[in-house]
A and B are shown apart, each in its own frame.
Chain A
């Protein structure tokens, strides 16, 4: 069964450094999402992406964040200058058709900012 994959599973970085989190969505899916979950808190929507552009973003998704689909398979989330409060689990999700309205999630990347 096709699945969403994410790399790395765990990333440790120093405050102020740039990180790129990578996702490979399900191959024929068209809609892509990033969510995050700070330890002990809810899973929160960050951004959605379709047709090579951002569709929607939450107030969390400020200028420090960017997303990109650099090729036909990868979908990345970049944090330009990490802060301590960016430490969280980041989940990528993809969806095939709007009519299904069902998002499939990857296993997540745990980001630790020191």
Chain B
């Protein structure tokens, strides 16, 4: 069965500092990988996704993620964090169902705090 691990429950960074959120997945086939962000009281907003091709994917709000098959990782990065980036971040893998479509399996999330 597929699984997603986000080792860091809570991360605090200073505004302007760089950020890397870790994500490791377990999935038997080629993974479809996603990062979502959830601000307080908001839904899950898609930041970026990887299906195939270039292993470095760009997303919204200046985020990027790199797929590394050898490490089963899909870490999220941002070169300079803004106070508005404070939120909870979820990594997910899209697992293929019998219907040919995918259901998302999520990690437990990483809560990001940004210090002024």
Complex contacts, B53 vs chain A, CB 8 Å:
none
Residue of A nearest to B106 (CB): A43
Secondary structure at the A interface, as helix, strand, loop or mixed, is: strand
With the chains together, A110 CA to B113 CA distance in Å? 23
**Is the pair B46, A104 in contact by a Cβ cutoff of 8 Å?**
yes
**Chain B min CB distance to A38 (Å):** 11
| B68 close to A (CB within 8 Å) | no
Task: Check A108 for interface membership: any CB of B closer than 8 A.
Answer: yes
B residues 38-81 in Cβ contact with A at 8 Å? 41-46, 49, 51
Interface residues of B in 85-104 (CB under 8 A from A): 90, 92, 94, 97-104
Q: A101-B32, A101-B51 are in contact. Are A43 and B44 (CB under 8 A)?
A: yes
A98/B100 in contact, CB under 8 A: yes
- B99 to chain A: which residues have CB within 8 Å? 48, 50, 55-56
- Among B92, B102, B108: residue with most chain A CB under 10 A: B102
Question: Which of chain B's residues have a CB closer than 8 A to the CB of A41?
Answer: 108
Instruction: Give the contact-size bracket for chain A.
Output: 20 to 34
How far is A48 from B90 in the complex, measured between Cα atoms in Å?
20
Q: Are A56 and B46 in contact (CB under 8 A)?
A: no
Cα A41 to Cα B9 with chains together (Å): 11
Q: Nearest chain A CB to B97's CB is how many angstroms away? A: 5
Let me know if A56 and B97 touch, CB within 8 A: yes
Q: How far, in Å, is A7 (CB) from chain B's closest CB?
A: 13
Task: Report the Cα distance A103→B105, complex, angstroms.
Answer: 12
Contact B42 A56 (CB under 8 A): no
Cα–Cα distance between A42 and B44 once the two chains are bound (Å): 13
Q: A101-B51, A102-B46, A102-B49 are in contact. Are A107 and B103 (CB under 8 A)?
A: no
**Alpha-carbon distance between A95 and B46 when the two chains are bound, in angstroms:** 12
- Among A48, A91, A101, point to the contact of B43 (Cβ < 8 A): A91
Residue of B43, B97, B106 near A42 (CB, 8 A) is B106
Instruction: List 3 A-B pairs, minimum CB-CB distance, nearest first.
Output: A107-B43, A105-B44, A43-B106
29 contacts between A and B (CB under 8 A): A31-B101, A35-B106, A42-B107, A42-B108, A43-B90, A43-B92, A43-B104, A45-B104, A45-B105, A48-B97, A48-B99, A48-B101, A48-B103, A50-B99, A58-B103, A91-B43, A91-B44, A95-B101, A98-B101, A102-B34, A102-B49, A103-B46, A104-B46, A105-B43, A105-B44, A105-B45, A106-B43, A107-B41, A107-B43
